[in-house]
């Protein structure tokens, strides 16, 4: 039988060390990319929330403006209806 010491091959050990280092490098790169993706996702989420607030504010403004115009038109219609049903003013 060949003993463990006699079967020891330095090139195989170096090859395994190289593979382990390469795998570690790939793993660290994957972790780095994951952190970057997470940061980008958070930034995008914040931008989306900000945009949504702006849209909500603009929509609220348009709604209140339309409501005021509708109320004004309703008042004019009431006045016109009153003038047509009672032209003398009695």
- Per-residue pLDDT reduced to its tens digit, 6-56: 677 788 889 999 999 999 999 999 999 999 999 999 999 999 999 999 999
pTM for this one?
Answer: 0.55
In angstroms, the CA 42 to CA 38 distance is 6
Tell me if 37 is assigned to some domain.
Answer: yes
CA atoms within 13 A on the CB side of 33: 6
Mean pLDDT over 54-80 rounds to: 96
Tell me if 64 is assigned to some domain.
Answer: yes
Cα-to-chain-centroid distance, residue 60: 22
Tell me if 29 is assigned to some domain.
Answer: yes
Q: Give me the number of domains the chain comprises.
A: 1
**For the chain, what's the residue count?**
90
In angstroms, the CA 64 to CA 69 distance is 9
Tell me if 19 is assigned to some domain.
Answer: yes
């Amino acid at each position: 039988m060949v003993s463990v010491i006699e079967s020891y091959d330095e090139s195989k050990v170096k090859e395994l060390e190289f593979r382990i280092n390469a795998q570690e490098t790939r793993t660290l790169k994957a972790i780095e990319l994951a952190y970057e993706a997470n940061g980008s996702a958070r930034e995008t989420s914040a931008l989306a929330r900000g945009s949504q607030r702006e849209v909500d504010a603009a929509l609220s403004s348009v709604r209140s403006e339309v409501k005021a115009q509708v109320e004004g038109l309703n008042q004019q219609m009431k006045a016109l209806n009153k003038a047509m049903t009672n032209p003398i003013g009695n």
